[in-house]
Amino acid sequence: MATEINLNNSEEFQEMIERKDFTIAKAVVESILANLNGRKKFVHVLSVNCLEEASTFDITLERKYFAETLQENLKYYVEQELYEDCSKIVEAINTLKEKETHGSKSKDKRDKGVY
């Protein structure tokens, strides 16, 4: 389930992004970790409800960007000194990179007609 953030307007969300609010990093990381073994190509990570504008922004992430997004958000967990979570993130990054490597080898074999 994606995290929901209720704000007055989209400017408040932009301010959160600019100040690198940990709430956003946490929502993104938790969604990725919860969907590591899923099959969906895109994962819903965050819903931002702008009350004054009566609008909702749904933010999704393509699975192929999971590892680099986790890597990018790891620094925010380090800043917060959430080291146990950091180790989970690093483990997930390694798992994703391992899957990429094995997936590429399998694809290469299929392309060459080797099974």
Q: What is the pLDDT of residue 99?
A: 85
Q: What φ, ψ does residue 49 adopt, rounded to 5°?
A: -95, 120
Task: Express each pLDDT in 14-49 by its tens digit.
Answer: 999 999 999 999 999 999 999 998 899 999 999 999
Q: What φ, ψ does residue 113 adopt, rounded to 5°?
A: 80, 20
pLDDT at 112 over 50: no
Calculate helix-pair angle for 10-18, 22-34, nearest 10 degrees. Answer: 90
